Amino acid sequence: MLERYELETFLTLAEELHFGRTGERLGVSTGRVSQTVRKLERRIGTPLFARTSRTVDLTPVGRRLYEDLLPVHRQLRTALERAMDAGRGIHGRLRTGFATPWGGELLTAAADALLAGHPGCEITVREVSLDSGVRPLEDGELDIQLTAFPVREPELTTGPVVLRDDRVLLLPAAHPLAGRPSLGLEDLAGLPLITTEGANPRHWLDHHYPRRTPSGARIGRGPVAATWQEVLSHVTAGRGVAPGAARGARYHPRPGIAYVPLRDAPPLEYGLVWRTAADSALIRAFAAAVGSQGP
């Protein structure tokens, strides 16, 4: 049978086609690479590499062996990683959710990254409606959710902010304010603000849809929307204005909608949330993967 060091030496040399670099990559001397390959060839009974003093190349038998052994090596690694993940608790199914498209991209990228290093996991990424808040977590439909802060529910654990974005106001293109380079919160006075309701708690709604401007002027109330598509169609139809994230302009460009920066509003912050009771190594690993995805 093939020893571990023989397998690795053969595969590395088959890729590098250079004894010196092979030894360097494996942390052994070139002499050792030469001896190992030589012994292997003697055992196989035929040369695996055709080498002059200047060049190294695979023989047909060597090439075939390389093609056969490469997947073996991969499987060996994933099998071990899977077992080690299970040992560390990083295994099983993780149902993740997001409400905004850029959140979806972030979660998908993080899921791919995590899966690459932890092949034993199963990660699903689902979209949830704007008005569901953190209800999917409480209902046990999701294990972890990317949501807009603030989150104050006591039974939930929140991760750090992983996405930050400037606030903008979505206006009908024909609106008198639509031409402004930027707006202030005071400009909201009297405008009909499109909101969401549903499962979002009171403090969250107050934070994202204030009832008064800083100076105390009342902000109007427009229609209630449950999804971004609804918000967009309300704005396009002139039924109101909606607060949003600057990225929205890239993800939901509409000819009938103007995205105007809101100068004095605090930035939007997104982060991960999960049920404290359902905390797990897999959740922590996923949160870490999302965190290292940003920059």
Partner DNA sequence: AACCGGCGTTGAGTCACGCTAAACGAACGC
Partner DNA sequence: GCGTTCGTTTAGCGTGACTCAACGCCGGTT
Q: Which is nearer to its own copies, 126 or 284 (CB)?
A: 284
Question: Following DSSP, what letter does each residue of the chain receive, concatenated?
Answer: ---HHHHHHHHHHHHH--HHHHHHHHTS-HHHHHHHHHHHHHHHTS-SEEE-SS-EEE-HHHHHHHHHHHHHHHHHHHHHHHHHHHHHT--EEEEEEESSHHHHHHHHHHHHHHHHH-TTEEEEEEE--GGGTTHHHHTTS-SEEEEESP---TTEEEEEEEEEE-EEEEEETTSGGGGSS-B-GGGGBT-EEEE--TT--HHHHHHHS-SB-TT-PBBEEEEE-SSHHHHHHHHHTTS-BEEEETTHHHHS--TTEEEEEBTTSPPEEEEEEEEGGG--HHHHHHHHHHHTT--
Q: Which is nearer to its own copies, 32 or 207 (CB)?
A: 32
CB of 57: closest distance to DNA in angstroms? 10
Residue 36 binds which entry of its own copies, DNA, none, with Cβ cut-offs from 5 to 8 Å by kind? DNA
CB of 45: closest distance to DNA in angstroms? 16
CB of 143: closest distance to its own copies in angstroms? 20
Residue 161 binds which entry of its own copies, DNA, none, with Cβ cut-offs from 5 to 8 Å by kind? none
Length of the chain: 295
Amino acid at 138: E
Q: Could you list the residues that contact DNA (CB under 7 A)? A: 3, 5, 18-20, 23, 27-39, 51-54, 56
Bridge partners, 217 (sequence order):
none
Q: Which is nearer to DNA, 52 or 215 (CB)?
A: 52
From 154, 161, 104, 156, select the one nearest 127 (Cα to Cα): 104
Given a contact cutoff of 8 angstroms between Cβ atoms, the answer to whether 214 and 149 are in contact is no
Residue 2 binds which entry of its own copies, DNA, none, with Cβ cut-offs from 5 to 8 Å by kind? its own copies
CB of 241: closest distance to its own copies in angstroms? 55
Residue 61 binds which entry of its own copies, DNA, none, with Cβ cut-offs from 5 to 8 Å by kind? its own copies
Residue 44 binds which entry of its own copies, DNA, none, with Cβ cut-offs from 5 to 8 Å by kind? its own copies
CB of 101: closest distance to DNA in angstroms? 49
Q: Could you list the residues that contact its own copies (CB under 8 A)? A: 1-4, 8, 43-46, 48, 60-61, 64-65, 68-69, 71-72, 75-80, 82-84, 86-88, 120
CB of 122: closest distance to its own copies in angstroms? 13
Q: Which is nearer to DNA, 18 or 239 (CB)?
A: 18
Q: Which is nearer to its own copies, 40 or 114 (CB)?
A: 40
CB of 3: closest distance to DNA in angstroms? 6
Q: How far apart are CA 295 and CA 291, in angstroms?
A: 9
Q: Which is nearer to its own copies, 35 or 75 (CB)?
A: 75
Residue 56 binds which entry of DNA, its own copies, none, with Cβ cut-offs from 5 to 8 Å by kind? DNA
Q: Which is nearer to its own copies, 85 or 230 (CB)?
A: 85
